[in-house]
């Protein structure tokens, strides 16, 4: 094992940020062992089959495939989500967006929540599990991503979450208009030209529909800001993930249409969480 671990680490140096950690993750995944079991059996010999499988995964990772596509899962808040090609790997920064969003419905009994662009279902399923009294709708335009969300929904058995395939708010039932307590979204927000500067896993492997919004990067977020107004009840909230380079533009859009518009930093100090409250006087359109 020791030698296999060293070998895997050497192959990953220069290709990933933490070769030691990732070598360990791939080897424990191949062996179906915990980290503690791995080190307890450090003198064991690796079978030819396991060595071949490790070699294949290390080569794919060195070629830029996301680690989570290789292991097939990602932990997000309380959930262990299945992920793979066709869906964005949920990020730690989004966990904070969920935390903030949950705060906005803390005082609301049986809230109605919509997660727009659900991907793996990370946000919708977290809200569904952490607020069992909520009714959660999750929309997703990509059939591949929606299939991952359904897989995760089935695994978790969150009966209060419904996944609806289609563009932004269009697959929602009409009776939700003006009745939603919280819309939460982590929309694609990169400008097309930014993609070239991203890490290989994002650039070459994660779906473009999940990362790139259009020429400016603001196209999908701007649609969410505008279209959410028809669904949120007066006094309800829109909470969105953003990134520091877009925070000012998004804040301007929110300020023009919502009360209490703000962009908050995450725990690392990056402006990540944008929000606005629907004004009581705004009519349902």
Contact set with ligand SAM (CB under 6 A): 88, 90, 94, 116-120, 122-123, 139-142, 145, 167-168, 186-188, 209-210, 220
Counted residue by residue, the chain has a size of: 285
Q: Which is nearer to ligand SAM, 94 or 160 (CB)?
A: 94
CA–CA separation, 63 vs 60, rounded Å? 5
Q: Which is nearer to ligand SAM, 71 or 186 (CB)?
A: 186
CB of 273 to ligand SAM, least distance (A): 13
Q: Which is nearer to ligand SAM, 5 or 127 (CB)?
A: 127
CA–CA separation, 158 vs 189, rounded Å? 28
Q: Residue 65 carries which DSSP code? A: -
| Residue keyed to tokens 């919708």 | 124
Structural tokens at position 132: 């069992």
CB of 172 to ligand SAM, least distance (A): 11
Q: Which is nearer to ligand SAM, 1 or 241 (CB)?
A: 241
CB of 236 to ligand SAM, least distance (A): 19
CA dihedral 35, 37, 42, 47 (to 10 degrees): -100
CB of 20 to ligand SAM, least distance (A): 27
Q: Which is nearer to ligand SAM, 28 or 142 (CB)?
A: 142
Please check whether residue 139 is in contact with residue 117, taking contact to mean a CB–CB distance below 8 angstroms. Answer: yes
Q: Which is nearer to ligand SAM, 12 or 123 (CB)?
A: 123
Q: Which is nearer to ligand SAM, 108 or 240 (CB)?
A: 240
CB of 86 to ligand SAM, least distance (A): 9
Within 8 A by CB and 6+ apart from 73, the residues are: 80, 81, 82, 83
CB of 136 to ligand SAM, least distance (A): 12
CA–CA separation, 264 vs 228, rounded Å? 20
CB of 214 to ligand SAM, least distance (A): 10
Please give the residue whose beta carbon sits closest to ligand SAM in the complex: 117
Q: How many Å from the N-terminal Cα to the C-terminal Cα in the chain?
A: 63
Ordered alpha helix ranges (H), 157-270:
200, 208-211, 219-228, 247-257
Within 8 A by CB and 6+ apart from 269, the residues are: none
């Amino acid at each position: 094992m020791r030698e296999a671990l060293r070998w895997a680490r050497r192959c990953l140096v220069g290709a990933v940020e933490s070769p030691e950690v990732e070598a360990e993750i791939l080897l424990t995944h191949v062996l179906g062992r915990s980290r503690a079991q791995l080190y307890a059996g450090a003198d064991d010999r690796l079978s030819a089959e396991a060595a071949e499988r490790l070699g294949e995964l290390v080569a794919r990772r060195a070629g830029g495939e996301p680690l989570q596509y290789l292991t097939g899962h990602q932990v997000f808040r309380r959930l262990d989500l299945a992920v793979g090609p066709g869906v964005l790997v949920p990020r730690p920064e989004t966990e904070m967006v969920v935390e903030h969003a949950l705060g906005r419905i803390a005082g609301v009994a049986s809230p109605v929540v919509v997660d727009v662009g659900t991907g793996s279902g990370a946000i919708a399923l977290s809200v569904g599990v952490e607020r069992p009294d909520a009714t959660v709708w999750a929309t997703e335009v990509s059939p591949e991503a929606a299939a991952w969300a359904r897989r995760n929904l089935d695994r978790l058995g969150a009966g209060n979450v419904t996944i609806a395939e289609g563009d932004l708010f269009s697959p929602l039932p009409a009776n939700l208009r003006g009745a939603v307590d919280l819309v939460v979204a982590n929309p694609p927000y990169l400008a097309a030209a930014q993609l070239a500067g991203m890490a290989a896993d994002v650039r070459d492997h994660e779906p473009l529909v999940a990362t790139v919004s259009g020429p400016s990067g603001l196209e999908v977020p701007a649609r969410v800001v505008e279209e959410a107004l028809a669904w949120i009840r007066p006094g309800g909230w829109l909470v969105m993930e953003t990134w520091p380079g877009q925070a000012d533009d998004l804040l301007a859009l929110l300020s023009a249409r919502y009360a209490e518009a703000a962009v908050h930093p995450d725990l690392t100090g990056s402006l990540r969480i944008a929000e606005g409250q629907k004004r009581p006087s705004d009519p349902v359109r």
